[in-house]
Amino acid sequence: MVAFSVTAAALFVSLLAAPQDPAATTPAEKPHVEWQRTLADALAVQKATGLPLLIAVNMDGEVFNERFANTTYHDAAFIDSTRGYVCVVASPDRHTERDYDAEGNRIECPRFPGCTCSEHIAIEPELFARWFNNTRNAPRHLGVSTEGKVLFDRFLDQSMQTAIDAIAKNRGKPKADALAPTDDVAQLFTRRDAFARRSLEAKWRSGSFEAKRALLAAAAVATNDPVDLLRAALRTEDSTLFGHAALATAKTASKSSLIDLEDALARCDDGAVTQELVARLFELGANDAAAARLAAHFDPNKKGVFVAKPWSNPWSAKRFDPTDRATVEAELDACEAALRQRATDHEARLRHSIACIALAALLVRDGGKGAELWFGDAITGARKVQEPALAEEAQAVLAFAAWMTGDGPAAAKALAAAQSPRDTTRQPDPFLAGCLLELLTQSIPGTVYLDVEAARQRSLRSEIDIVRVAMDLALQRNVATERGLLAGIGLLEFAGLRHAARARLATVVGMFPSSPAAHERWRNRIAVDLGWNAVGKAYATHVGQAQDNPTAEWFAGYAALLAAEQHSRDQWADRALAAYADAIDRLPRSVQGNADFTDSAHHYVVLALGGRAELLLARGHAEDAAADLLRAAQLREASLDENDGLQRKPRAIAGRVARALEQAGKHELAARLKPILPQ
């Protein structure tokens, strides 16, 4: 017993399955208390049944808490007592890594079945505000009448039986037939109890295409906020069902479903459906700041901003190649010669300052010394430029140099001055214009991230607009940098514009096909928004379009390995086997086109062969598993002792395969594995 702190219509009926209680236990599942998912659900069930509310508070690691959670809450007599209540549980401890799998199915808490961990964590502050009397204790059990009166509040007792007796004594009697098990789908969509929610979700998982479409049609007019049903439907790979799910979400989403609206917008390619989703955001935004903020980022009626002159003017031809040190140094020499002849040649001094930041940027790129000195020279020179027509460009030099040397306030001040709107037809230096656009795409997100909480309370539409314009200009004028583009895309992601971010990440990967950072951002964005199956499809398209095919095959093979590991976590063996096969095929093809990939490609093939062997063994195909492991040893034996993404070593997998072969009497094949078995 301890105190604790917590931070924390009729058309579809014939299409649906026969009545079945999804709460019915299997032989391997212990009976448990029927926990409701949220306080809003519990209060609705209390109103429908007339039963008192039973609030259980629990935490990990203390004797009475452990006995309640692991024994009492599974005891038949105690469970029978709780049938006279509407039950909720609060616990600050997480017992699963995730609340949903990749298909949006709930992953229930093993300690409190019926709830996800986030549900029993999130409910505590609501309960505290209403009934805990400013104290937090566990274990604790409260009974609350339908009128809100506390019937009992047991904590810090010397015996668990005191609370158990209070629960038995104050149990209520439900109204006749209130929330009885039913297979009437229309009725289920009006109920918020855990049974009704489980029933609908089970019908989704087992239903045919037509049954699922009927469920979604009913969900669109539901009154019970069917969030978990729609959450699973939004992750279906069927685009038609997804469209129905998105429309249903647009019609029923509450402020607690903002993440579902954002998820739907991240995937939706249908303009009309997108408009419905955004319209729902605006409806919710009338009373919810977070919804209003997200809606503003999608508002099609807002006028965009533009980069001020001279940066929006056409750009002149390059004076030098900023990626080639010899031409940069030649430009420096030419400018210095001009300044020796006339010290007041402001054009030459500006050109000299631009060349200084170009050389400094090359030194940064190549890991050379002295970059800060050249940035310093650029700042000194730019401050000497007195010609008004050159003022914006001089300020751009100051802004970029200050940013690169860590002087954020100076960079922000100069950047604002560089964008002062002035009617000019002057064409800026293309390299300098590129630097300014890169700075816009880095510094604006950087400023937002300085105070994330404040940024979450307001619209970022103006910042988003200017970053988008800067990225578009940089791409159009062929001066975009990977660093600047990724920073700008990060702002889009932060603002919830994930569909736009994903499209731009595809562009970045096309421009920088050998960049690990670009590929990591792209595949992770696809995986989150569309699922790991979509990652494989995207990479198949990428390989087909790539000019550098070996590099594309390497990254596609590596992505397939990651997908296989995630499918293994989700216990989707067929998908995992297909992804492992894709990795095993693609990575060697990268070696055929570019020998530099040999070592890394073979390493990841070994991990893929090991992972596939584990799955084959589980399916009873130990001989095929052995063949994979023997091939792995020939490719790169050192990798047998490396962990894959699931913390498994191929050599350890070989040990399990050898034991299975011995047990099956296949001693000769088991003996062939002996050289690679753990010592």
Listing DSSP states for 387-420 in one string gives -GGGHHHHHHHHHHHHHHTT-HHHHHHHHHHHT-
- pLDDT of residue 178 exceeding 80: no
Q: Under DSSP, is residue 183 helix (H, G, I), strand (E, B) or coil?
A: coil
Q: pLDDT digit string (tens) for 39-97?
A: 999 999 999 999 999 999 999 999 999 999 999 999 999 999 999 999 999 999 999 99
Of 140-154, 305-319, 335-349, 544-558, give the lowest mean pLDDT range.
305-319
Listing DSSP states for 295-360 in one string gives HHHH-TTSPPP-PPTTTTSPPPPPSS-TT-HHHHHHHHHHHHHHHHH-TT-HHHHHHHHHHHHHHH
Alpha-carbon span 45 to 53, nearest angstrom? 9
Nearest-5° Cα angle at 428, 422 to 432 = 115
State the residue for tokens 């001066």. 479
Alpha-carbon span 196 to 512, nearest angstrom? 50
Alpha-carbon span 589 to 666, nearest angstrom? 34
Bigger pLDDT: 256 vs 247: 247
Residue 303's pLDDT is: 65
**How many CA atoms lie within 13 Å of 226's alpha carbon, on the beta-carbon side?**
37
Residue 130's pLDDT is: 96
DSSP 8: -
Domains in the chain: ranges and CATH: 2-169 (3.40.30.10), 186-298 (no CATH), 302-496 (1.25.40), 505-676 (1.25.40)
With contact defined as beta carbons under 8 Å apart, do 432 and 393 qualify? Answer: yes
Q: What percent of the chain has pLDDT over 70?
A: 95
DSSP 517: H
Residue 420's pLDDT is: 85
Residue 317's pLDDT is: 81
Residue 25's pLDDT is: 38
Query: Measuring CA to CA, how many Å separate 153 from each of 90, 129, 140, 495, 617?
Result: 15, 15, 7, 44, 53
Amino acid making up residue 245: A
**Structure-block tokens of residue 200:** 């609908």
With contact defined as beta carbons under 8 Å apart, do 189 and 200 qualify? Answer: yes
Q: Under DSSP, is residue 560 helix (H, G, I), strand (E, B) or coil?
A: helix
Q: pLDDT digit string (tens) for 406-428?
A: 999 999 999 999 988 788 889 99
- pLDDT of residue 6 exceeding 60: no
Query: Measuring CA to CA, how many Å separate 61 from each of 112, 359, 434?
Result: 15, 60, 58
**Structure-block tokens of residue 331:** 């430009």
Burial class for 48, CB neighbours closer than 10 Å (0-12, 13-18, 19+): middle
Alpha-carbon span 405 to 371, nearest angstrom? 9
Q: What percent of the chain has pLDDT over 90?
A: 86
- pLDDT of residue 21 exceeding 50: no
Packing angle, helices 346-366 and 325-341, rounded to 10? 150
- pLDDT of residue 595 exceeding 80: yes
- pLDDT of residue 367 exceeding 60: yes
With contact defined as beta carbons under 8 Å apart, do 195 and 21 qualify? Answer: yes
Residue 28's pLDDT is: 52
With contact defined as beta carbons under 8 Å apart, do 234 and 246 qualify? Answer: yes
Alpha-carbon span 269 to 467, nearest angstrom? 23
Alpha-carbon span 54 to 84, nearest angstrom? 9
- pLDDT of residue 18 exceeding 50: no
Nearest-5° Cα angle at 554, 552 to 557 = 105
Alpha-carbon span 601 to 487, nearest angstrom? 29
Closest alpha carbon to 40 in 111, 96, 122: 122
Residue 612's pLDDT is: 98
Residue 163's pLDDT is: 97
Q: What is the mean pLDDT of residues 321-347?
A: 95
Q: pLDDT digit string (tens) for 101-120?
A: 989 999 999 999 999 999 99
Nearest-5° Cα angle at 521, 556 to 647 = 70
At 305, is the pLDDT very low, low, confident or very high (cuts 50, 70, 90)? Answer: low
Q: What is the pTM of this model?
A: 0.88
Q: How many residues does the chain have?
A: 679
**How many CA atoms lie within 13 Å of 375's alpha carbon, on the beta-carbon side?**
21
Residue 179's pLDDT is: 83
- pLDDT of residue 3 exceeding 70: no
Burial 233-245 (b: 16+ CB within 10 A, else e): bbbbeeeebbbbb
Q: What is the mean pLDDT of residues 607-633?
A: 98
Alpha-carbon span 530 to 431, nearest angstrom? 37
Alpha-carbon span 535 to 255, nearest angstrom? 30
Residue 16's pLDDT is: 33
Amino acid making up residue 120: H
**Structure-block tokens of residue 493:** 């992601």
Q: pLDDT digit string (tens) for 124-176?
A: 999 999 999 999 999 999 999 999 999 999 999 999 999 999 999 999 987 76
Mean pLDDT for the chain?
92
Query: Measuring CA to CA, how many Å separate 262 from each of 234, 236, 280, 287, 365?
Result: 11, 16, 11, 18, 37
